[in-house]
Structure 1
Amino acid sequence: MLPVLPTFHDRPLHDAPSSRRIESAALSQHPPHTLIERAGLSVARLALALQPFGRHATVFAGPGNNGGDGLIAARHLAARGWTVDVLLIGAGPQPGSDAAHALGAARRAGLRLHADAQPLPRSTDLVIDALLGLGASRAPEGAFASAMQAIDLRRDAGATVLAVDVPSGLDVRTGRALGADVVRAHHTLTFLTLKTGLFTGEGRALAGRVWFDDLGTSVDDLGDDSELSDGINHPALLFGAGRIAQWQRASARSASSHKGRNGDVVVLGGAPTMRGAAWLAATSALAAGSGRVYAALPDDDGQPWPARPELMHWDATRWSASPDTWRDIVAVCGCGGGTAIAPALSTVLHGATRVVLDADALNLVAADETLQHALRRRAAHGWPTILTPHPLEAARLLGLPSAADVQADRLDAATQLARRFSATVVLKGSGSVVATPERRLSVNSTGSSALATAGTGDVLAGWIGGLWAQSPGIAPHDLACTAAAWHGAAAEGHAGPLLAADLIDAMAALHAPSA
C-alpha cells in the first residue's frame, strides 16, 4: 500500500467497466474471499497508521463488496482493542457473495452492528466510508444520503474520514459529485486500479490523499484490457513530473547551442489594459528556453517591456508579408488579446505551422464559424494546434450553456473538443485533461490550489510555446503533457496563492542544470 501522489511515471487510469474486468480476472486467480479479506485488512492497517492513538471507529457499510471491505476492517480494528460501531445501510448482501462472507464473519466476531434507524455516537476518532463502490451512478437517496450527512457531521467534529475505493457519491469516471450528498474524505484507499474520477474535477478535493493497494495481484499479469470501446469509456493515463525529465533528456543542449537553434515564439495578444497577459506569456516562453520571443500587440507603442528587455516587438506589417517569412515561428495567440487580434489571428491560423490558442483567441474562434473552419483545416495541412481552454472557454467552444456542463464530464468535453477541431486540447483545472484524436486521454497529477490566481493560464500557454520552439518534432500530445506537468510541479509545496510572475520563476528553477 502506497500513496499515489506525487507520481513520477505514467500510470493507467480506469473507469468502472475496466475496473470490473480487472477485478473479475483477479478474483479468478485466488481462492474465494481472498481479495476481500486482503482489502479489509489493508483498510484497517491504513486506519491504524492514520490514527495511531485512536480508540473509536465508526464504519458505514453498504450491502456490496465495498461494505464488505469496511466490515472486515472493523473486525481487525476491534481485534486491536478499538471500539467499533458499524451501521449497515441498505438491503442485505447476496447469499454466497464476498459481502455475505464479510457480514457473517463480523457477526461471529461479535461486532456492534446497527440497523439503519439506530443512532450512533457522534464522537469518534475515525470514520470509514464503505457505503458505495464502483456501481454508483446516480444521486444517493434515502438511508444512503442520510448516512453521508452523518459522515459529514463527524468530519466537522474532528473525525478522520477514510473512504474505501472511492468516496461515496463521487462518479468514478468523471470526478463529479452525483448529487448534493457526497463524502468528503481526508484519505481514500483504492484497490486494483486507479480510478479516473479520483484525479480530476471535484475528485481530487473529495478523495483527499489517495492510496493504492494492488492486493498482491499485478494488473500486468491479468491480460491487456486496453481494447475497450471507443469514446469516453477509454481508460486514461495519469502523468506526473517524470515528463519533465523525459523532455530534458530528449532536448539537452550541446555546448555549441545558440539562440538560432532554439526557435522563435511570437505572442499575439496584449490589447490595451490587458498587456500583462501577453507579458506573462512571452516571459514564460523566454524562461522555457525559446531562442527569441516577440510580442505582437494590437496597439504597440514600441516601448521596452518592463524588466524584460530580452523580449522583442513584432511589427504588425510582418503579418502582411509572405507566410514563408514567419511560417515556422510558434504562435501563442489570445493572451489578453480581446477582439483586436481577430485579423491577425485569421492570418496565423492560415499560415503558421505551430499554433497555441488560449483565452481570447478561443473566445474569438467560438464566436466565428470562419475561424472554426480555418482551425479545422490546419490538420489537413499537417499543422498541429494546441488549445488551452479553462472550463468556461471550453463550454463556449462546444456551444454548452455553462462551465458546469463541462465540469460534469471533463473527459468527454476534452475529447469532443479535440475531435471537433482536430487539435490537442489541454482542459485546465484540477486534474487537467489532455486530449488528442487517436491518443489516449491523459490526466495531470501535478499542481495545487496555488495555481488559482490570475495569469497562470497565460504562463502555461507561453511555456508550451517556449518548449515547442526548441523541439519542433515533439508530438503535440506529449508536449502538452510535459508543459502541464511542469506548470503544476512548480506550484506544489506553496501554501498560499502563487502569483503568475512568481510561477514563471518557479518553473524556470526546475530546468535541469547544464552539463
Structure 2
Amino acid sequence: MHDVPHEIITVAQMYAADRFAAEHGVPTLNLMEAAGRAVADLVLRRKPKPGPVVVLCGPGNNGGDGFVVARLLKARGWPVTVALLGARDALKGDAAINAGRWSGETVPLSPAALAGAELVVDALYGAGLSRLLEGVARDTVMALNNHTAQVVAIDVPSGLHGDLGRAYDGLCVAADATVTFFRKKPAHVLMPGRIACGPVTLAQIGIPDEAIEAIKPALFVNGKRLWGRAYPKPDPRAHKYAHGHAVVVSGPAHATGAARLAARGALRIGAGLVSVASPRAAVDVNAKHLTAIMVKPFDGAEGLAQLLSDKRYNAVAIGPGVGVGEATRAMVYAVLDSDRAAVLDADALTSFAGETEALFGSALGKSVLTPHEGEFERLFPGLLKSSSSRIDAVRTAAAQAGCVVLLKGPDTTVAAPDGRVSINTNAPPYLGTAGSGDVLAGFILGLLAQHMEPFLAASAAVWMHGLAATQFGPGLIAEDLPEQVPAILRRLYEEI
C-alpha cells in the first residue's frame, strides 16, 4: 500500500523540490543523469531489440535529459539521432554539459528528422511550458502524432501544460508512455492529459523525500495510500449497530429504483443496517424488492424530519430518483437539520439550481455533494469555465459550499473545504451506464455510516466504484457494481 507516492505536485512545487535537493547537497547534474537513465531504462523495457531512435531535444533542461537518454542508448549499441531545437551553443547549464557529452549525430529539429525512427523520445518541453507550440516544434509534433514510431515522453508530452492537464490549443505529443520524476503532476491524472501521457512511470532520481514535508502538497492521487489507514475494518468485537444505520430517501412509486441501488451499495460496502425512507405511496413497490434492507414510511418533509429524530440513523442520502422541486428542497433541509452525515446527489442538487445561497447557508459541514458536470454548473454557475483547471474549480466549490464536493467524470475529483483534493484514475468507460451514480452515492453513504471522515469516505468510495467496474468489465449495469464489492474488500482488508 505504501510503495508508490500518492502526492501530486504542481510545476512550481517541482521547481521547489529541485531547489530543495540542490540546497541539501544533491548536484543538479546528478538529477539530470538519473532522469535520463530512468527514461533509457523504460525504452529498453518497452523495446528490448535495438532499433533506430530519434531523440527530440528542446532548449532547456528537458532537452538535457534527452541528451542523457541518447548517450545511454548509444552506449548500448542503439542507432540514435538527436534532433535539436535551436543552436547547440545556446544551451545553458546542465543541458549544455550533457550536450557536450553527446558524440553522436545531431540534426536540426524538423518533421524530416523522424524518418526511419522506430522509437522517438520526446524531450522538447517539460511540464512548465506556458504557451502553445509554434514553428518547427509545432510542425514536428504534428508529424510525430501521425508517425508509426513508439513515443516515450520525458516529464510530460510536449505541448501539455503540467498543471492544467491540457494543451493550450489542443495540440501536444500523443505519447505511448511517459516518465516523470519525484511525484506526478496534475497533467498525469487530469483528462485529457492523462490520455496524452499514456502509462506513466514515476522515477525517483535522488530528490530527498523530505522535500515533500517542505512543500506540503494538498493534491493526491486517489487510492489506498490516501485513505487506507482510515478505512473501516471489521472488528470481531463489534455488532451491526456499531457499523452505522444508513438511510436512503426514496422517490415516488414510479421512481424508486435509484434509491434501492444506493441502498444496496451502502449495505454491500459495510453499513450495519440500511433503510429506505419511502413515501407511503411507494412503500409497496419498495417492500416487494427489498429483503435485508428495511423500508421506513414517511410523509413529506415533516415526516422525514420525524423519522430522522431517531438518533440511530447516522447517515442519510437524498437525491436519487427523489424528484426536482420545492418538496425535495424541504426534505433536503430536513436532512441537514437532523445534523447527520449526508450525501446530496442528483435531484437534491438540481432542486437548488438558482437558489444555492440558501443551500450553502445551511449546515453542510458533514455533507458530500456529488454533482456531474451539468449539476455542478447549476450549483456553481460559470465556475468550471472560469477556473484555470478542474482542480481549482472543485476546490473553490468546496470552499464556497463549506463541505466536500465530488465532481464526477473520467477523472472524478473530490475536494474538501480545507483544500485537500483527490483525483481518481481507475474509472473505466463501462461506468457510463444508468444508475452507476446512484450506487456511488450508496458507497459514500455506507462509509459515512461507518464514521469515515467525508473527504476520505468520498475518495475511497470513488476508487471502489472504479475498481468494481473494472473488475466486472464490459456489459456492466449498475446492479453489478455492489456485487463486486465482497471480493474487493477481501483483498483490501489484507492490504491496509
**Same fold (TM > 0.5):** yes
Partner of 2:197: 207
Deviations, residues 128-150 of structure 1 (Å, cap 9, x unaligned): 11111122123222222222212
Change (3 A) 1:493 1:289: closer
Partner of 1:229: none
Deviates more, 1:313-322 or 1:57-66: 313-322
Equivalent residue runs for 1:100-111 within 5 Å: 100-106=96-102, 109-111=103-105
2:18 corresponds to 1:23: yes
Q: 1:42 offset after TM fit, Å? A: 1.9
2:222 corresponds to 1:239: yes
CA contact (8 A) 1:74 1:84 kept: yes
Structure 2 Cα separation of the partners of residues 444 and 24 of structure 1:
29
Alignment gaps of 5+ in structure 2: none
Structure 2 counterpart SS, 1:295: strand
Deviations, residues 103-126 of structure 1 (Å, cap 9, x unaligned): 2222xx122x22134613444321
Structure 1 Cα separation of the partners of residues 87 and 320 of structure 2:
55
Q: Which amino acid aligns with 1:60?
A: L
Change (3 A) 1:493 1:114: farther
Structure 2 Cα separation of the partners of residues 126 and 423 of structure 1:
48
One of 257, 262, 272 as aligned partner of 1:291? 272
Q: Which amino acid aligns with 1:347?
A: A
Partner of 1:388: 370
Q: Which amino acid aligns with 2:338?
A: G
CA contact (8 A) 2:59 2:124 kept: yes
One of 345, 348, 363 as aligned partner of 1:361? 348
Structure 2 Cα separation of the partners of residues 147 and 493 of structure 1:
40
Structure 1 Cα separation of the partners of residues 484 and 75 of structure 2:
49
Structure 2 Cα separation of the partners of residues 244 and 490 of structure 1:
17
CA contact (8 A) 1:55 1:81 kept: no
Structure 2 Cα separation of the partners of residues 35 and 244 of structure 1:
31
Change (3 A) 1:12 1:141: same
2:38 corresponds to 1:42: yes
Equivalent residue runs for 1:54-133 within 5 Å: 54-90=50-86, 94-106=90-102, 109-111=103-105, 113-117=106-110, 119-133=112-126
Structure 2 Cα separation of the partners of residues 428 and 168 of structure 1:
28
Structure 2 counterpart SS, 1:339: coil
CA contact (8 A) 1:8 1:240 kept: no
2:333 corresponds to 1:346: yes
CA contact (8 A) 1:9 1:240 kept: no
Structure 1 counterpart SS, 2:361: helix
Change (3 A) 1:121 1:8: closer
Deviates more, 1:387-396 or 1:26-35: 26-35
Structure 1 Cα separation of the partners of residues 228 and 114 of structure 2:
51
Deviations, residues 144-168 of structure 1 (Å, cap 9, x unaligned): 22222122112xx2x2221101112
Change (3 A) 1:31 1:317: closer
Structure 1 Cα separation of the partners of residues 467 and 3 of structure 2:
11
CA contact (8 A) 2:174 2:196 kept: yes
Alignment gaps of 5+ in structure 1: 1-5, 227-233
One of 176, 182, 194 as aligned partner of 2:166? 176
Change (3 A) 1:315 1:349: same
Give the number of aligned pairs: 486
Structure 2 Cα separation of the partners of residues 139 and 276 of structure 1:
48
Deviations, residues 184-242 of structure 1 (Å, cap 9, x unaligned): 2221100123212211222322211111112133232686122xxxxxxx641223135
Q: 1:459 offset after TM fit, Å? A: 1.1
Q: 1:59 offset after TM fit, Å? A: 1.7
CA contact (8 A) 2:145 2:173 kept: yes
CA contact (8 A) 1:37 1:69 kept: yes
Deviates more, 1:421-430 or 1:392-401: 392-401
Q: Which runs of 4+ in 1 moved over 6 A?
A: 6-9
Structure 2 Cα separation of the partners of residues 76 and 322 of structure 1:
69
Structure 1 Cα separation of the partners of residues 91 and 438 of structure 2:
57
One of 212, 218, 230 as aligned partner of 2:208? 218
Change (3 A) 1:432 1:32: closer
Deviations, residues 319-354 of structure 1 (Å, cap 9, x unaligned): 424846514432211112331534322322333422
Change (3 A) 1:313 1:48: same
Deviations, residues 229-260 of structure 1 (Å, cap 9, x unaligned): xxxxx641223135675345x442334513x3
One of 163, 183, 186 as aligned partner of 1:196? 186
In percent, how many aligned pairs have the same letter? 31
Change (3 A) 1:8 1:365: farther
Deviations, residues 250-289 of structure 1 (Å, cap 9, x unaligned): 442334513x333222222445654332221111112122
Change (3 A) 1:412 1:307: same
